[in-house]
Chain A
Amino acid sequence: MRKKPWLYSAPALLLILIVVVFPIGYTAYISLTNMNLYHWADFRVIGLSNYARALFKFDSGFLGALFTTLLWTVVNMALQLFCGFWIALGLNAKGLRLRRLYKTLLMLPWAMPAYVSILLWRVGIFNTEFGLLNQWLTALGLPKYSILDNTVTAFLACLALNLWMALPFMIATIDGALQSVDASLYESASLDGAGFFQKVRFITVPGIRAIIAPAAVMTTFITFKQFDIVYLLTQQKGYMTGANLNTVITYAYQNAFVSNNYGLSSAVSMLLFVLIILFSLATNRSLREE
């Protein structure tokens, strides 16, 4: 009798097996082989030597990238939660007109393909000749400045773009959560003489915390393994800028994925996979302790 549940869920399990588990398993297998350009069809298992080489990729440059990634994740999360919360609160203000229009407009960055958004910002905002920022600088009589050529300003540029792209999700989630807070609580708080900030602090925040926690964890991961914004703004072939900005994923890509050495790249991928699993366990635990 115990077999029946397995049989019912067999199609779904099989799908997960094919789509999720198999690629990971196959990557693990490739990481143990010498598959590269010179051993394309005749590759063989060579044991753990790729891992020994891959560990050398996690050098001082990698540590720098890890630090940048952590800073990037923390700053992004703080900004997204802060801005998302206040904008969502503003959208729920009593007597606000055209509420739906604002919500639709705020969703726009999310609806746009990331690649298009990033290229639009690169050319439309940051470009030295045609970008909006430099047009302003020129109009103010200031010299042109290439924002993406300096590591610190490039980091800020990536931050601004990521905020623009990720905020809609945060606003939508917090906005949804706000609807679930019992309105009578605010009424009784008002009767007790509570002000706006007291209501926010003692009713709104505790009320929505549990609902937005999963969204926050998900966004943390997406931010941690961010690749496209940093890569397309500062590192794309033919469009490389002077900034020396790397997250763990762009660093690993630059150092292990352009060589057509699939054995080595797979070993690096597996190590990154372990790193992200550890990061997820740590985040989950800290969330549970809360």
Chain B
Amino acid sequence: MKKAISLLLSAALALGMLAGCGQTPSSAPQSGSAAAPGSETATEPVTIKIWHDGDEAIMQTIADTVNSRLSGDNITVTFEKKTGLSDQLKLYGSDAANGPDMYFYAHDSLGTFVAMDILAPLSEVAGADVLADALPMTVEAGQIGGEQYFLPVYFETLVFLYNKALWQGDIPTTTEDLYAYMQANTDTAAGTYAVVNQHSTAYNVSPFINGFGGYILNEEGHPGLNDPKTIEGVEYNKKFAALQADGDYNTVTTLFNEGKAAAIIGGPWLVSGIRDAGIDFGVASLSDMTLPNGNPLAPYAGVQGVGVLKTGAEAHPEAIGKVLAALASPEVGVALAKSSGCAPANSKAYEDPEVAADELIVAIQKTAETAQPMPNIPEMGVLWGPAESFLVAVNKSGEDVATAAETAQQAALQAIADMQ
């Protein structure tokens, strides 16, 4: 009897282990099925699911504004936080039952999703008017091969943040004056610095590289780490790096927040930490600082916005078109600027007096004139590594710039070749 029971239990346990392997019938309408795509009417309630990996407060602001605009259309937008969104979309990007209808993320991973063939162009669900008021730089960030896949909502770029109690005099208008100020006011032995920057991170050196006319990756997907102009920019950054401590994120932000650095080159994401540290800070645009060649500093910009998944576009084209129109409205931009200090992609949002009075947002908007959107083609994903190795070799290991550039270029070409 005992044997029979244990045999039975073993079999049950073994079968139980396989229980999860069954197929769940898909509840979402499939393309070409009886529930024809795009057949929803204004009376049927529709829920649009958007996945994001961002700040919950920012997403809540967007959700509240969009949902109040769409209440008359019977459309509800829900935002779901998914950590590691990029990997999540690799798994669920073409899964109509379990995946999202849209996603909210930074624009630089757009190329990866387009290469995976999981996104629908915006033209399939919305008219060109959703982009009519957007800043040109943010529109450009959402294009791949001339096709618009991404609706910009807000953007970030590097600005010059300074501690009003520590900075003496005006903010320099040339990088040479800035360097002179740094030389006069930096004491590395005592641990006090004039300006700190993540000097060996490609994103933070982009103002110099782009300003000199160099590039990390061009539109054709060719890396430019050994381009003479890139080398010039990196070489020029080196003398600044020598006066900017170790240059990793934790070190530079702590130096600034503890009042040991008078200024920091960083993005709006640093602001909450600076406020918590009780520092009275001012903001200047990097566009107002010129290099020895006369060009202004030209940082990379990261644009945050939404893309539409093919599965979503097939299931709810009309509803998604309305959601896009609501997201593109100046109200969303104004709400984000007021609640979270984000710089809206919608140019009309800056007409709001409160937004126009915000020093940080205006500095970011000003920088958008010279900023370049980060490359959004998939090759960029493998280039951060070689670019950082290049900067580290020059700034921290003291390698010759030209040699390091050549090594990094070969590594970049190899990394791109490995993608295929």
Contact = CB atoms under 8 A, between A and B. Distances in A.
Contacts of B188: 144
B251 A240 contact: no
Contact of A127 (B10, B246, B388, B396): B246
A130 B251 contact: yes
A128 B191 CA distance: 9
Contact of B420 (A7, A18, A238, A261): A261
B242 interface: no
Contacts of B389: 240
Nearest to A265: B418
Interface residues of B, number: 48
Given A40-B116, A41-B94, A259 B382 contact: yes
Nearest to A138: B189
B115 A258 contact: no
B128 interface: no
Given A130-B254, A237-B388, A259 B396 contact: no
A258 B246 contact: no
B246 A128 contact: yes
Contacts of A15: 17
B11 A237 contact: no
A45 interface: no
Contacts of A41: 94, 116-117
A182 interface: no
A128 B245 contact: yes
Interface residues of A, number: 39
A4 B7 CA distance: 8
Contact of B198 (A38, A238, A261): A238
B396 A146 contact: yes
B365 interface: no
A237 B385 contact: yes
A7 B385 CA distance: 51
Give chain B's interface secondary structure class. helix
Interface in A147-175: 149
A256 B251 contact: no
Give chain A's interface secondary structure class. loop
Contact of B251 (A8, A128, A244, A254): A128
A217 to B, nearest CB: 31
A129 B191 contact: yes
A55 B233 CA distance: 36
Nearest to A130: B254
Nearest to A257: B418
B14 A11 contact: yes
A241 B396 contact: yes
Interface in B376-420: 378, 381-382, 384-385, 388-389, 392-393, 395-398, 414-415, 418-420
Given A41-B116, A254-B385, 8 more contacts: A18-B17, A129-B246, A144-B188, A144-B189, A237-B385, A238-B249, A258-B382, A260-B378
22 contacts: A10-B11, A11-B14, A36-B420, A40-B117, A123-B250, A127-B250, A128-B245, A128-B251, A129-B246, A129-B255, A129-B260, A144-B189, A238-B198, A240-B389, A241-B392, A242-B395, A242-B398, A244-B397, A256-B418, A258-B381, A259-B415, A259-B418
Interface of A: 4, 7-8, 10-11, 14-15, 18, 36-38, 40-41, 53, 123, 127-130, 138, 143-144, 146, 149, 237-242, 244, 254-256, 258-261, 264
